[in-house]
Amino acid sequence: MRRPRLRAIYHRHFRESRRERLFLASLAFFVSFGTIRLITHAIRAGVGPFHDLHAGQTHIHHSVWGILLLLLVGYGWLVQVGTGEGRSHRVMARLTAIFYGVGAALTLDEFALWLHLRDVYWEREGRASVDAMFLFGAVISAGFWGGRFWGAIGREVRRWFRPRPRP
């Protein structure tokens, strides 16, 4: 009985495809940004199965994958795949929005590399301001586009834990 209520809350708050896509892209950006940071720290610490990717002597930065994702999504949107408009299927609209958020996170996480044209990822200028700006931007974006939805979810979850009157 609880899942249908959560689904109803979701559909009530995201009836409009554009609003849903903005929310999903923001959420994907935030989750991806945190995940990327965790993985890069694990690589640097030599923890887990993660490692840098190289093609010969060239280190392939994760921004490369982000740029490719952004190009793919952008092309899809140009040909009206995943836009949520016209004949575009809603599932594709959701997937392209998520891929856009992931691609943006992969790309913007290495913004300092673009700025300095050298790898400053672990140096002061490559971390502090970029981390704060994009993490804050993702949180604000997810809250702005999905704030009413998250509030409704919170009220519903609290309702689950309230004592129910006995008949």
Give the tokens for residue 49. Answer: 């199965």
Phi and psi, residue 37, nearest 5°: -60, -40
Altogether, the residues listed in the chain come to a count of: 167
Return the pLDDT at 66: 95
In this predicted model, what pLDDT tens digit does every residue of 106-161 receive, in sequence order? 988 888 777 777 788 888 777 655 676 677 678 778 776 777 788 888 888 888 88
pTM over the 0.85 mark? no
In this predicted model, what pLDDT tens digit does every residue of 59-91 receive, in sequence order? 899 999 999 999 999 999 998 888 877 666 888
CA dihedral (106, 109, 111, 113) positive or negative:
negative
Q: Which residues are paired to 23 by β-bridges? A: none
Which DSSP state fits 61?
Answer: -
Helix %, strand %, coil % of the chain (to 5): 70, 0, 25
Which residue ranges make up each domain of the chain? 28-48+59-158
Contacts of 99 (CB under 8 A, 6+ apart): 28, 69, 72, 73
Closest CA to 149 of 17, 30, 23, 60: 23
CA dihedral (110, 35, 102, 144) positive or negative:
negative
Helix 17-45 crosses helix 124-161 at what angle (to 10 degrees)? 120
Please report, as a single letter, which amino acid is at residue 142.
A
In this predicted model, what pLDDT tens digit does every residue of 22-52 receive, in sequence order? 889 888 988 998 899 899 999 999 999 999 9
